Amino acid sequence: MSASLAVAFDQLSENRLFEGIESGLLDEIAPSVRVVQLSPGDVIFREGDPGDVMYLVGRGSVKISKAGRGGQQETLGFIQSGNFFGEMALLDGEPRSAMATAVESTLLGTVDEPTFQHILELAPSRLHMNFLRSVSERLRSVNSHFISEVMRSERLSLVGAMANSIIHDLKNPICIVRCCSDLIARDTTDVRIRELAAMTDKAADGMLSMTQELLDYARGSTSLSCETVSIWRLLDELNQQALQLLPGHNVQFAKNIRYDGDVFVDLPRFVRVLANLIKNAREAMPNGGILTMSTDLVNGQVVVRISDTGIGIPPDLLPRLFEPFVTHGKSHGTGLGMAIAKSVVTAHKGKISVASVQGKGTTVDIRLPVPAGS
């Protein structure tokens, strides 16, 4: 063993795995421990890799992370010097369940299975004890992580319940506004007042359905009342709610209606999703551009696409786009739009996806089943 490696192993011998093990035994093991020097960011193993060695951290630290929702890495914890990791794969022979990355300049010792067996034979009671202690520590940490997660979701559901009651109370005044405007419209022959009353009605209806949407979101459920409607009906609703806002923003509207049959949708909710996507598209084109809406029949599915020629979405945001509270390039908005879009489309047994090139534009693709009998 070279002098530097001997020094390195000195650091490894302080490892918790070897606690209480005689130095004579360690000398016997030392030649089988391979020493590795890592730079910050070096990947030690990835999730799913076959696992045949465990690691002792002699110096530096290692991050353990796992792919979470949307594909980004969520940190599970850090292994500091003097501790070990990667032993689970060695015990159960399963592939790596997480990813390990060097955080800083790190010195590792690798112990392969024969060496591990050898140590077990040499000092069974000590090694088992060290192992058990480490495992129980990790169990405790995972447990507390789990409990705080549960508490967080508990808090969220509390917020949900609160939102529930606020939104429920909000419905009453909105209904009163609606009733009053109906009465005003009935009591007058003035066309203009009737028109204003109709606008009030429409705005109140919009608020009602928005609160319903929030309520649905807070409850985490989406109760749909679907009906069979034609693409034309869908476009007519969109025309009234969203398209009329376009011309003032120097946005051209193009349409390719290649499927003009029926869809089976909860019309107000589905139209709100599309209106929201159109609003996003318009906001992505502050200097104007072309907004294209198309409908097609592809592989027995109705495909509705909304594309813009706008600024696009940064690639790192794309995987998280459908998560709540993710917004891009907006100073306003709840950040719920795309999350609701996904939940509504999924509730329709459909799929939604987004493709975007920065500086070129974005396309949202919604696929719905073709209604039975059409």
Partner 1 sequence: MSVNSSDDPAAQKAASELNNLLEIISGTSSTLENIWAGNDGAQKYFDMLRTSVDRAAAVTAELAEHAGGTNDKVLLHPELMDFARPRKMPPPAAKKTRRLLVVDDEPMALVLAKRILSEAGFEVETAQSGFECLDLFRKRPRHFDLILLDLSMPFMDGEETFSRLRGIWPDVVVLLSTGFIAKERLDRMMAAGMAGFLRKPHRPDEMVAHVRSVLERAQMLRAGCTVNTLVAS
Residues contributing to the site for partner 1 (CB under 8 A): 229-230, 232-233, 235-236, 239-240, 243-244, 247, 253, 255, 260
Pairing verdict, β 43-45 and 61-67 = unpaired
Rank residues 131 and 253 by Cβ distance to partner 1 and give the closer one: 253
Q: Which amino acid is at 289?
A: G
Pairing verdict, β 227-230 and 262-265 = antiparallel
d(CA 257, CA 296): 7
Residue 96 phi/psi, 5-degree rounding, is -60, 135
d(CA 9, CA 129): 22
d(CA 75, CA 98): 10
Q: Count CA within 13 A, CB hemisphere, residue 23.
A: 4
Rank residues 36 and 231 by Cβ distance to partner 1 and give the closer one: 231
Q: Which amino acid is at 205?
A: D
d(CA 251, CA 40): 48
d(CA 296, CA 258): 5
Retrieve residue 2's tokens: 């070279």
H or E segment and range at residue 136: helix 124-186
| Residues 6 or more apart whose Cβ sits within 8 Å of residue 352 | 322, 341, 342, 345, 346, 364, 365, 366, 367
- The minimum distance between CB 151 and partner 1, in angstroms, equals 50
